A and B are shown apart, each in its own frame.
Chain A
Amino acid sequence: MSQTDFTRPECQKATGFEGCAPLISLKGITKRFGKVVANNDISLDLYPGRIKALLGENGAGKSTLMSMLAGRFRPDEGYIEVDGKRVDFSNSKDAIKAGVGMVYQHFMLVDTMTVAQNVLLGQEGGFFVNPKEMEERVRKLAEDYELEIDPSAKVSTLSMGEKQRVEILKLLYRESRVLIFDEPTAVLTPREAFRLFEALWAMTRQGKSVVFISHKLEEVMAIADEVAILRRGNIDAEVSRDKITSKADLACRMVGKEVILEVDKEDVEIGDKVLEVKDMTGIGLRDINLEVRKGEVVAIVGVAGNGQQELVEGVCGMRKPPKDKIFIMGKPWRKFFAEMTWNNSMSYIPEDRLDLATARNLDLVDNLLLSTRQGFSAGPLLQHDKAAKVAEELVEEYDVRPGRIRALAWQLSGGNLQKMVLARELYRQPHLIVAEQPTQGLDISATEEVWNRLLEARKMAGVLLVTGDLGEALQLADRVAVMYCGQIMDEFSVNDKEKVDSIGLLMAGVRE
């Protein structure tokens, strides 16, 4: 489990569907939102027993395309054929009837209802329903597809992987023949991801067609039969998996230019301690000892939910840690936050870009001011013009698109918003940067840019990087700390080959 390695066992191959006609064909689909062309004249065939990966950068139009297939939007031009017959989906019910089902990135589940109620919602088959009988039906279906789940459990008590299984059961119950997965592994642990792939293979063996939207190259390499690459609303290439020689080859096809997934890391002089956590127990953490010095990147890795969030919130002042356990730039936590200044201090780059890092309905200038307000004040007055000028410069320097400072935060794609957040936080000249999943959901070029910016920032700051992406941690960090159940299992240099190889075990709580 050290690196995500998913290879498809021979027995998992779906056979007997060669030469079948496509289940679904998209014919010349075009969709516009205002002036933006989200999809331009796209044609695509989906065959039974095959997994089609839809690969593309953020904002390439993958989700829009699949939403049309799932009946959420209607195409402006073009049409969809099911079994060779033209259909017109006016809502998701039509799509479900035609056998198209979608597992959304954000689960469409009702938290307060049980698994069985969620699976059967809208499909109860009669006005009166019987909870026991519903649970029995769902239990049987889950057994058929070897999906482990308790049908009587409330959805709010389930893990992400289990919730996803509920979504899959919903589709299977509706006898969907085409199942669309929108970045399904983003929320899963590697183990859960592998179980998902097994389920996908099981589905293809039964003749279902699977569409897998992702930008995780290794996953696409592992499970796809065909790869369709979407770029700026166009199908750029459609290739069989056999024709793809390597991950680099695929990456290259995806972004249209050679991408170096490895970044150059020049040595930076190590300076003073900017963060120190001493024997901290509390706020869900145990015996945490941690040190970050100026000029280094310390990565916290681990399966999500093992205390990383508590640690970040403790350090960043969102949660009160026990007294005299956390020291930031030499000052005790309370003193530091009491005296905190807007610059030469601490920057936090949260995982939740749209609701924590920015205010979604404010423009880029106001979003810049969120954490730099004191820098643009003259007495009680706010120097809005000055802020606008700085915003303009930052947008230019970081190439934030669209290049308008009056664009609202929610209008930016994930990558561009992250660039703006990074621009703002680095503008504050911090000495300590806490970056939480800084490249989650970003495409390769944006990831590369964020990585380079963070490495660059080491010249002025120490970086505490919390990430679920081991590759990212190994690329950027000088030292890695593995968290499990609120504890730091081990901490070591990235050059310690032996320790690095044991990260998978440490993440699972196994100590040699």
Chain B
Amino acid sequence: MLESFIVPLLAATVQSGTPILYATLGEILTEKGGVLNLGVEGMMSMAAFAAFFVTMTTGNPWFGFIAGGIAGVFMAALHGLVCITCLGNQVVSGLALTILGVGLCNFLGTPYIGTATEGFDKFSFPVLSAIPYIGDIFFRQDALVYVSYLIPVLFMFFINRTSLGLAITAVGEKPAAAAAVGLKAVRLRWIALLGGGFLIGLGGSYLSLAYTHLWANGLSGGRGWIAVALVIFAFWRPGRAVFGAYLFGGVMAFQLRLQAVGTHIPSSLLLMLPYSLTILVLIFSAMRGRSGNAPAHLGINIEPEG
């Protein structure tokens, strides 16, 4: 049971949790700076396509991986143009970004449906993969998973131990306070938004380069929305985001396996599992009353003075 079911399930958990992890951390960074970005789903879709397309043309999946991140930055810039520059409504802009991203990637991607491409394959990480169970779960994965292990640590370090991280936190909490000490609040919001966009984009890359090695429409499949919900579940803390992302990854992997085994439960109910869990998680977070952990100026534009 352990060898044949649990360990492979947990290994699959890590794999399906990874894109969500990238996206959740990206959204946390964005929101730390005070911008609410509901366009994650669209950004991931566009990034997945950009990653697929660049890999297909260049043959180098690393180029594709970065291209996905850059696509995320471009999408985030669109959001920034509306919300930071033109002071538009962040919720509306984010929703529009999702519709745009999903639609555009389907439009661009349709000719390539089913086309396979290079990608990241699983390999055993030297030494560590020899650890019983742990090695099988965590260290027989693809390169992007290994990269994702580093990101939460770097993220925490960035937020708590660098002046830029503190400045971004300050701007999300109280832009006026940041401005009063001479920080450029608007610029810092851009940095957080674009940086977050890059991470969200990397999550999208993972979908087309490692999760699958071929293009299909609707690859993102609601993961962007789950990431938005996970930010609340994680109380804006990267450590809890890791837990949350793997929890969702686990549920996704589990329902796939159940479908494969062929249970009596209708597959549509199983497919519903991650989304029902999203609702449960949000109720749980609300009951814990910690949504007060949200950056105080989240979703509120910085009006120019004078």
Contact = CB atoms under 8 A, between A and B. Distances in A.
Interface of A: 72-73, 91-93, 96, 102, 104, 108-113, 117-118, 121-124, 126-131, 170
B166 A108 contact: no
Query: When A and B form their complex, which 3 residue pairs have the shortest distance between CB atoms, in order from nearest?
Result: A93-B182, A124-B163, A108-B177
B163 A108 contact: no
Interface in B141-188: 160-164, 166-167, 169-170, 173-174, 176-183
Contacts of B160: 131
B305 interface: yes
Contacts of A112: 169, 173, 296
Interface residues of B, number: 22
A113 B163 contact: no
A127 B169 contact: no
B262 interface: no
A19 B285 CA distance: 64
6 contacts: A72-B305, A102-B180, A122-B178, A122-B182, A123-B181, A170-B181
Contacts of A104: 180
Contacts of A72: 305
A110 B170 contact: yes
B266 interface: no
A122 B183 contact: yes
Contacts, number: 71
A110 B305 contact: no
B289 interface: no
Nearest to A67: B305
B161 A92 contact: no
Given A117-B166, A121-B183, A111 B174 contact: yes
Contact of B182 (A73, A92, A109, A131): A92
B126 interface: no
A128 B159 CA distance: 10
A310 B162 CA distance: 42
B181 A121 contact: yes
Contacts of A109: 174, 177
Given A96-B181, A121-B170, 17 more contacts: A91-B182, A92-B179, A92-B182, A93-B181, A102-B180, A108-B177, A110-B173, A110-B174, A110-B177, A112-B169, A113-B166, A121-B167, A126-B163, A129-B161, A129-B162, A129-B166, A131-B161
A404 B197 CA distance: 48
A72 B306 CA distance: 8
Given A110-B174, A111-B173, A127 B164 contact: yes
B169 A96 contact: no
Nearest to B171: A110
Interface string B57-96: 0000000000000000000000000000000000000000
Contact of A128 (B161, B182, B305): B161
A113 B182 contact: no
Nearest to B295: A112
B284 to A, nearest CB: 22
B169 A108 contact: no
A110 B167 CA distance: 10
Contacts of B180: 92, 102, 104, 108
A480 B235 CA distance: 47
Contact of A122 (B162, B176, B181, B305): B181
A109 B176 CA distance: 9
B39 to A, nearest CB: 26
A88 to B, nearest CB: 15
Contacts of A110: 169-170, 173-174, 177-178
Tell which of B173, B182, B296 has the most Cβ of chain A within 10 Å. B182
A72 B177 CA distance: 12
Nearest to A70: B180
Nearest to A117: B166
A112 B159 CA distance: 13
Interface in B289-306: 296, 305-306
Contacts of B174: 108-111
A141 B181 CA distance: 18
A295 to B, nearest CB: 45
Tell which of A111, A128, A130, A131 has the most Cβ of chain B within 10 Å. A128
B17 to A, nearest CB: 28
Given A91-B182, A96-B182, A108-B180, A73 B305 contact: yes
A135 B164 CA distance: 18
A116 to B, nearest CB: 10
A397 B161 CA distance: 59
Interface in B233-276: none
B162 A127 contact: yes
Contacts of B163: 122, 124, 126-129
Nearest to A104: B180
B177 A130 contact: no
Contacts of B181: 92-93, 96, 108, 121-123, 170
